[in-house]
Structure 1
Amino acid sequence: MPRIRWITMAALAVSAIVVAGPAYADTLFSDNFDDGDANGWSRSGGSWSVVTDGSPAFRQTSTGANARVLAGTTSWADYTVRARVKPIAFAATGRTAGVAARVRSSSEYYAFVLTGGGAAQLQRVSGGTATVLGTAAAGGAATGAWRVLALTVQGSTLTGSVDGAAVVRATDSTLSSGRIGLLASYASASFDDVVVASPTPGPGPTTPPPTPGTCRVTGSPVGFAQGTTGGAGGPTVAVDTAAELLSAIATTGPLTVCVSGTITLPAGMYDVTSDKSIVGVGSTAGITGGGFNIGLPVSDVTTAPANAVHNVIVQNLTFRGASDDSINVQMFSHHVWIDHNDLAQGYDGLIDIKRGSSLVTVSWNHTHHHTKNMLLGHDDKNAAQDTGRLRVTYHHNWFDATPQRNPRVRFGDPVHVFNNYYFYNTDTGVACQNNAGCLVEGNYFEDVEEPVTNTYAGPAGRCVARNNVFVGESGMPDCSGTVQEPSAFYSYTLDDPNSGKAIVTAGAGVLR
């Protein structure tokens, strides 16, 4: 068997390997029930238990009760509560399953729920009576499918999102703070991957690097991958051989994988399972020869499977000489954060995202000495899997003399490209094709032949370019159409684009 070093608390003091992130991380609470229990949740009504539903999940089985479970603290005020929810059966079309925020008691809270009639509703519940604040189409079957529900409460603004898309918004100032909850009102439903995140700070250049030689996830994702926690809450394993690394990334359950030195993999892309943080120790950790596949095997299914790979972080690694893609995200994988890596000289893509994957952030990476840089959506004919998905944020990356695919985008809407530095890209910067919608803002383009286009090749997309800087022999954007605003999905702070070159070159790549 491969040798794996599970790090104990005693060993931490000697090795200086740390599991937890710094104090500025935004996650207030998370529970994926992989430990087989629901400790910390208080029950009110119904019949709740942890079951296996693709992975361990918290299920309410009765359709004859107004069932709620609560967690967190009453002092929480502005935050997002997000969970995967799969309604199984409703007692009637008006019955509901979803999430709650600012819970003051089991009969007083805000709720964002799916109904038996196939709608998404934003509610205020007071004295056990629900007042509907807003309703929208949920866009899918009422039962039998996992949906990602998120309820954001900030001041008096309430926003409900389904599968990463904000679908309903309302204003109400009745409740100012409170706990979070999972709700199944006369419905049976499964719940998984609960995350509570406070408002995300801007991504500016002041985030301190880790102490040299440590292993920890630094910071937290801005953009569509918000709420991604990787291996947080699980053990930590140190690896410095290919056998150790491949065994660790295939392990079931939350795990932080600390990579030391350069590990040479056999040719190929190797599967990463859910709930993993793969983190380089210091500035010399890396992967050569092979790459990572974050996703299930390729198939033609068009509905996201319950066991889609999710909650993965790859940070602080150098990738060289991959035989295929350095990092490939595919088959409905979601909540993936690829941050502060150095990638070059691979065979195919450096970071490719495709086949229905979504809710990904690619940030602070340095890519160079490579042509096929980053692909988002692999084929013009893959609309069945990709439409409504491929929502990705690219920010503070250094696209360094990478001729094309920076990124090349199909179908994704919105795709948010902000505060990146583009240098000497001899073909295209952002190419937005095949009905994709790209917002390209606050970037610094230096000697880029075609910085932004929606008419590069194949069917046209839509793009909006604003507040960018173009210097040297850069062309000008070729854009048309409208794009959803990413601010409807998450908060972010835009750096001054005139400072973009200095900010990105100082901070992109492996952490110092």
Structure 2
Amino acid sequence: MRRTSARTKTGKALAVATAVAAVAGFTAWQSAAAETASQPGITAGSAVGYGAGTTGGAGGSTVTVSNATDFIKAVTSSSATTVQVNGTINLSSMQKVASNKTIVGVGTSGKITGSGLNVASVSNVIIQNLTFTGSNDDAINVQYSTKVWIDHNDISNAYDGATDVKRASDNVTVSWNHYHNQDKNCLLGHSDDNGSEDIGHLHVTYHHNWFDGTVQRNPRVRFGNPVHVYNNYFNNNSGYGVASTENAGVLVEGNYFENVDDPYHLGEADSGPGSLVARNNKLVNSGSGQTGGSVSTPSYNYSLDSADSVKSIVTGGSGVGHI
């Protein structure tokens, strides 16, 4: 959420139920009629990393929405729901999302503008295949929440953070997103004095994201250990790439940095240093980065792409329309 800046894949297609609004007075999200269909761009797949096992709205109803009123009703429903966004949803303020939700764009048509999504004090949420632009706050804020997967979105021009994860949140994967036209990008851990809540939490995996000219916080990490940043493409990041602060432990692995003077470092502004281990990265016209300390080994299996191939893989597969 709003604060002062310190500095500047692809799962197997699932069959899903599509709600049919056939009764007068019922909105699309209320319709109980459904048919089974496989639709391009309507699939959750499965998360890799700390967000693995997040199922979102699987097993519940499926609804299709195209306006803010129906969208808000669907994402705040108390039951498991897959919310298919077909059109532009204009929000006036940060919209709370309830537990057990998949919010997924249809093809390339799903857009969130005006404000963003607040994933607060909930569990089991998937946000996928959506274009977020022009939020008056964060694009996506995650706090006091577990099991969150943010995947294959296009995110730009948020007033504050693009994707912030904070306040004891845990078991989150941020994958295959295209971030651009953004200053403060991915904050992990909101303040230096929140260790009592955050220590032992904030386990997040960032993989196959395109940090496309985003200035800083790609991510900026406090307290989380380990945090895994692997197989991302960083290009033209004028501030810095990754910062490890406040005793965090960050593994920066198999990434491609291009035209990034400061790819990764320890400490940031008034925040003390964390630990950072860098291995198997490709640095093209970029600085050497700063490392130090030790980092715990991520507690999951993953397949690492060669850093040489990351640029083409990520630019060809990140963002909307690629799930």
Whether TM exceeds 0.5 here: the answer is: yes
User: In structure 2, what residue type is equivalent to 1:280?
Assistant: G
Matched, 1:234 2:60: yes
Q: Which has the larger radius of gyration?
A: 1
Contact kept, 8 Å, 1:227 with 1:335, in 2: the verdict is: yes
- Listed one character per residue, the Cα deviations across residues 477-506 of structure 1 (whole Å, up to 9, x for unaligned) are 2010000011xx110010010001000000
User: In 2, Cα distance between the equivalents of 1:2 and 1:378?
Assistant: 41
2:49 counterpart (208, 223, 231): 223
Contact kept, 8 Å, 2:147 with 2:170, in 1: the verdict is: yes
Aligned ranges 1:297-446 → 2 under 5 Å: 309-331=122-144, 333-446=145-258
Contact kept, 8 Å, 1:6 with 1:235, in 2: the verdict is: no
Aligned ranges 1:144-155 → 2 under 5 Å: none
User: In structure 2, what residue type is equivalent to 1:376?
Assistant: L
Contact kept, 8 Å, 2:168 with 2:197, in 1: the verdict is: yes
Contact kept, 8 Å, 1:4 with 1:237, in 2: the verdict is: yes
User: In 2, Cα distance between the equivalents of 1:441 and 1:2?
Assistant: 50
- Listed one character per residue, the Cα deviations across residues 357-394 of structure 1 (whole Å, up to 9, x for unaligned) are 01000000000001011100000000011001000000
Alignment match, 1:174: none
User: In 2, Cα distance between the equivalents of 1:508 and 1:248?
Assistant: 27
Please give the secondary structure, in 1, of the residue aligned with 2:53. coil
The total of aligned residue pairs comes to 297
Percent identity, please: 53
2:99 counterpart (260, 271, 274): 274
Give the C-alpha shift of residue 2 in structure 1: 8.3
Deviates more, 1:224-233 or 1:451-460: 451-460
5+ residue gaps, structure 1, are 19-209, 297-308
Contact kept, 8 Å, 1:258 with 1:280, in 2: the verdict is: yes
Matched, 1:469 2:282: yes
- Listed one character per residue, the Cα deviations across residues 23-59 of structure 1 (whole Å, up to 9, x for unaligned) are xxxxxxxxxxxxxxxxxxxxxxxxxxxxxxxxxxxxx
Q: Over aligned residue pairs, what C-alpha RMSD do you find?
A: 1.4
Considering fraction of residues, name the structure with more strand.
Answer: 1
User: In 1, Cα distance between the equivalents of 2:176 and 2:98?
Assistant: 23
User: In 1, Cα distance between the equivalents of 2:256 and 2:164?
Assistant: 23
Alignment match, 2:315: 505
Matched, 1:259 2:259: no
User: In 1, Cα distance between the equivalents of 2:31 and 2:302?
Assistant: 36
User: In 1, Cα distance between the equivalents of 2:202 and 2:71?
Assistant: 28
Give the C-alpha shift of residue 7 in structure 1: 5.4
Kindly report structure 1 stretches of 4+ aligned residues shifted beyond 4 Å. 6-9
Structure with the bigger RCO (C-alpha within 8 Å, sep 6+) is: 2
User: In structure 2, what residue type is equivalent to 1:226?
Assistant: A
User: In structure 2, what residue type is equivalent to 1:322?
Assistant: S
Aligned ranges 1:165-184 → 2 under 5 Å: none
Matched, 1:295 2:120: yes
Alignment match, 2:4: none
If the length of structure 2 is used for normalisation, what is the TM-score? 0.89
5+ residue gaps, structure 2, are 1-24
Alignment match, 1:3: 27
User: In structure 2, what residue type is equivalent to 1:321?
Assistant: G
- Listed one character per residue, the Cα deviations across residues 377-416 of structure 1 (whole Å, up to 9, x for unaligned) are 0000000110010000000000000010000000000000
If the length of structure 1 is used for normalisation, what is the TM-score? 0.57
